[in-house]
Amino acid sequence: METDMTILSSFLHRHPSIKFIRLQFADLSGILHTRLVTTQYCLDLVGKEQYATVGGRSMLHAVNDALSPIAPPIGLCELHPDWQSLRICTFASGHASVQCFVWDTYSEEPFHLCPRRKLVDKLIEWESKLNVTFLTGFEIEFVLLDSSGQIPQTVDGISAWSTTAGLRGSSLDLTEDIVEALEASDISVVLFHTSAPNQLQIATGPMSPVHAIDALMQTHECIKHIAVRYGLHATMAPKALPDSLATGAHVHISLQPPSKRESFLAGVLDSLPAIMALTMPSYDSYHRVTGVQCGAGTLVAWGTENRYVPIRAIRAGRLELRSLDATANFYLALLAILAAGMRGIEEGLPLEAADCQVNPFELQEEERRALGIVRRLPDNMKESNKILKESTVFDETLGTSLKRQYIAMKEVDEKDMSELSEHDRRAWFVKMY
């Protein structure tokens, strides 16, 4: 196995123009944090087996930077780079990025607040014990705003889903620059298109779950960075514009072996209301809990090629979970989704809901019951937090400390955001996401 120094030195030899390394981690609010170090200082740290540090509460800030009453008053965390995630930032000349595990030096369980570490460990366990592996890819929706937070004025506005209109001028140039930068960073782009009025989408190719999320973090930053070059602000905020469709993210999950799909799907559906506290974790996330096509759905249901339900089945072994947005910590979100599905496999849960081929929102209650659709999704942040708090399904996967700190932080977040006007709340999400 290659040492950290070997990986870093070899990378710098192949990319001699790199001057700065971005040490990155996502906090529990899904906000990406970056510490920049020079390549020489980075080499010194690795050679001495030392680490850059951040404060002990760095994982625990709400969207508006608030802290819960149980956040520790003091502490120190080390950033442990996963050098397998090292890649060039072609959108920022001379920069490379590496995703880090967060090690709490004050805890007997140092990785207790690090979803990335927990996801890595669980994937190893599931493959070893049950011979189950995954590939994942993401659809990233984003909105472009001008310096005043409004829709940019252009003769070729984005008007609808997958239209050529909106891809004839600067939006096309910008998106092409993003795609070229991503592919130069070894991030596969499957396609891009207009997604809705004033909204674009980029879909990344399949990778192992942790690497896919690492690539997603780079993709978000690449989109935002290149938009700035065009004098624009790119945002993945759930409700960036008051009169436009809400913005989400979709994760595609391919399961091997495909024969375990039904039990996996049964497990995810069984825990979906609690999962939403982790996948749609913010006040404005719930604009997407709607019966409108391409939203997150309103009911616990699934369907083959059905975009009115939270889980779309695509082909044997492949699912799309639609109740997700960019305010999630994606490592934490995917950890919960996969853990729920693996519980279904381990316990042999039966798939009680039928393959729904209509919009269940429009059915009568008895028609829904005939399909096994009997539960509604939470339609606000407070409700989903309560469901997660009362559920025990993820206690072992998350650990007592992470679950307790996450819920406490989200309760503060919900209270603070509920007291803001829609305009001021939207401003926070647009700024942070």
Full-model pTM: 0.96
Continuous segment of H or E residues that includes residue 312: strand 311-315
The pLDDT value recorded for residue 224 is 97
The pLDDT value recorded for residue 169 is 86
The pLDDT value recorded for residue 282 is 97
Tell me 322's DSSP state.
-
Check if the beta carbon of residue 101 is closer than 8 Å to that of residue 52. Answer: no
The pLDDT value recorded for residue 293 is 64
Q: For the chain, 433 residues long, give each residue's pLDDT as a single digit of tens.
A: 789 999 999 999 999 999 999 999 999 999 999 999 999 999 999 999 999 999 999 999 999 999 999 999 999 999 999 999 999 999 999 999 999 999 999 999 999 999 999 999 999 999 999 999 999 999 999 999 999 888 888 867 887 788 888 888 888 999 999 999 999 999 999 999 998 888 999 999 999 999 999 999 999 999 999 999 999 999 999 999 988 889 999 999 999 999 999 999 999 999 999 999 999 999 999 999 987 766 888 999 999 999 999 999 998 789 999 999 999 999 999 999 999 999 999 999 999 999 999 999 999 999 999 999 999 999 999 999 999 999 999 999 999 999 999 999 999 999 999 999 999 999 999 999 9
Q: How many CB atoms lie within 10 A of CB 212?
A: 23
Rounded Cα distance between 204 and 215, Å, is 8
What is the SS3 assignment for 54?
strand
**Cα–Cα distances in Å, from 432 out to 34, 106, 190, 237, 385?**
14, 28, 27, 8, 21
Rounded Cα distance between 17 and 361, Å, is 55
The pLDDT value recorded for residue 243 is 84
Rounded Cα distance between 429 and 418, Å, is 13
**Cα–Cα distances in Å, from 167 out to 61, 147, 170, 234, 363?**
38, 21, 8, 16, 37
